[in-house]
Amino acid sequence: RKAEAVQAVSKNAELPLCPLEPPNLQGHLDVSFASEPHTMEQTKESNPLVKIGGAYLPPYCTSRWKVAIIIPFRDRDTHLQYFLQYMHPTLQRQELDYRIYIINQYGPGKFNRAKLMNVGYAESIKDDTFQCFTFHDVDLILENDKAIYSCPERPRHLSVGVDKFKYVLPYTAIFGGVTELTKEQFTKVNGYSNSFWGWGGEDDDMYNRVKLKGMNIMRYPGGISRYRMISHQREKGNEVNPQRFDLIRKTGSTMATDGLSSLKYKVIAREDYPLYTNITVDLFGPA
Ligand code: UDH
Ligand code: NGS
């Protein structure tokens, strides 16, 4: 028995652990939205090691990090093309074992970014043993691959510098855009609230959750944690939510019952595409 167990472990660990600092990082990356994005076919062709469903693991070393990249989504096809074009090569250079999930909100009702991210968590853990989860707006493209999407010691805010804000944090408690939490951190706070319909506040509520559970967030230095945002207009269905301030005042009393523990949704469709896994979901929103 014991010999069998030892053999099983060494089989998994046949390849040496990837180095702490991936050797092929480039640092600053030129990101531009001036020309049309690559088509999915072009991106597929230039990323031959990405497997069906948008999954990758380094072929030459055992990755240190198994990460689900979770993207709340509705009707942003051009943004998604840029995202895949830029982010697949970056994530591979970071030597992650990753998979990209698009969580696509079904129907024209009010958008709910936070609930989509809860769904991404709940669906991805059925597929694989992800250690951590990167919650990622589709319109943010990383400009420096040294900001590694590795599993963080504390909940990590990644979109520190964004060109739209002249690369300055708009306020120190901001926890939107791109964040990463381990499974343990995310379950400790009961995931995101499901109650934020429309724009704003759901990220501040998550910040409250993290603090209320005694955690502090962490960030990479602003010099490397940099993003370009693809400009766009506010969509119909994502109007500013007038209830957001009331909701974020009550995080302390609602977080135990509003979150992963109360998550209800219906998967309408799931497709494993060459560059990403697409999960279309009915969130049972208000009419
Ligand atoms: N998202 C969609 N579809 C939508 C709305 C949001 O996919 O219809 C997702 C997407 O991943 C996006 C994220 O949710 O990156 C956040 O939503 P957002 O980009 O609308 O939020 P942001 O704060 O912009 O970036 C708000 C509107 C700003 C209007 C500025 C006009 N110049
Ligand atoms: C705050 C919002 C956050 C949002 C942040 C940056 O005011 O949800 O602005 O927004 N909080 C509330 O509305 C309570 S941004 O300029 O990136 O669109 O993330």
ipTM of the complex: 0.93
Q: SS3 breakdown of the chain: % helix, strand, coil, rounded to 5?
A: 30, 20, 50
- Ligand 2 pocket, 157 CB below 6 A? no
Q: How far apart (Å, rounded) are the C-alpha atoms in residues 101 and 265?
A: 16
Please name the residues in contact with 231: beta carbons below 8 A apart, sequence gap of 6 or more. Answer: 33, 164
- Ligand 2 pocket, 204 CB below 6 A? yes
Give the per-residue pLDDT at 3: 45
Nearest ligand (C-alpha, residue 108): 1
- Tell me: pLDDT of 235 over 70: yes
Among 118, 123, 116, 145, CA closest to 53:
123
Q: What predicted TM-score, i.e. pTM, was given to this entire model?
A: 0.95
Q: What is the mean pLDDT of the chain?
A: 95
Ligand 1: residues with CB < 6 A are 71-76, 111, 113, 137-139, 199, 233-235, 237-238
- Tell me: pLDDT of 86 over 70: yes
- Tell me: pLDDT of 97 over 90: yes
Task: Report the residue among 74, 80, 119, 238 best suited for mutation to probe ligand 1: largest number of ligand atoms under 8 A from its CB.
Answer: 238
Q: How far apart (Å, rounded) are the C-alpha atoms in residues 110 and 112?
A: 6
The stretch 172-194 carries a mean pLDDT of 98
4-13, 192-201, 203-212, 225-234: range with lowest mean pLDDT: 4-13
28 is catalytic: no
Reported confidence tier of residue 12, pLDDT bands at 50, 70, 90 = very low
Give the per-residue pLDDT at 14: 87
Query: How remote is the CA of residue 82 from the centroid of ligand 2, in Å?
Result: 23
282 is catalytic: no
What does each C-alpha distance from 129 to 97, 125, 167 come to in angstroms?
11, 6, 34
Residue with tokens 């009010």: 110
Give the per-residue pLDDT at 13: 61
- Tell me: pLDDT of 7 over 50: no
User: Of 95, 97, 123, 137, which residue is the catalytic one?
Assistant: 137
Relative to beta strand 161-162, strand 226-229 is parallel
218 is catalytic: no
Query: Residue 79 CB: number of other CB atoms within 10 A?
Result: 21
Give the per-residue pLDDT at 96: 98
Percent of the chain exceeding pLDDT 70 equals: 95
Reported confidence tier of residue 1, pLDDT bands at 50, 70, 90 = very low
5-19, 72-86, 206-220, 223-237: range with lowest mean pLDDT: 5-19
Nearest ligand (C-alpha, residue 105): 1
User: Of 154, 163, 199, 219, which residue is the catalytic one?
Assistant: 199
Give the per-residue pLDDT at 44: 98
12-16, 29-33, 118-122: range with lowest mean pLDDT: 12-16
Separate counts of helices (H) and strands (E) for the chain:
8, 11
* Torsional sign, CA 167, 170, 173, 179: negative
- Ligand 2 pocket, 53 CB below 6 A? no
Q: How far apart (Å, rounded) are the C-alpha atoms in residues 218 and 259?
A: 22
Token pair in block for residue 194: 């499901």
Token pair in block for residue 43: 């991106």
Q: How many residues does the chain have?
A: 287
Reported confidence tier of residue 9, pLDDT bands at 50, 70, 90 = very low
User: Of 229, 270, 272, 282, which residue is the catalytic one?
Assistant: 229
Query: How remote is the CA of residue 238 from the centroid of ligand 1, in Å?
Result: 8
Instruction: With beta carbons less than 8 A apart as the criterion, state whether 66 and 23 touch.
Output: no
Task: Report the residue among 137, 140, 164, 165 best suited for mutation to probe ligand 1: largest number of ligand atoms under 8 A from its CB.
Answer: 137
232 is catalytic: yes
What does each C-alpha distance from 72 to 15, 109, 136, 150, 221 come to in angstroms?
34, 15, 7, 20, 26
- Tell me: pLDDT of 11 over 50: no
Query: How remote is the CA of residue 177 from the centroid of ligand 1, in Å?
Result: 10
Q: How far apart (Å, rounded) are the C-alpha atoms in residues 65 and 97?
A: 6
Roughly what angle, to the nearest 10 degrees, separates helices 202-212 and 113-127?
60
- Tell me: pLDDT of 4 over 50: no
The stretch 89-107 carries a mean pLDDT of 98
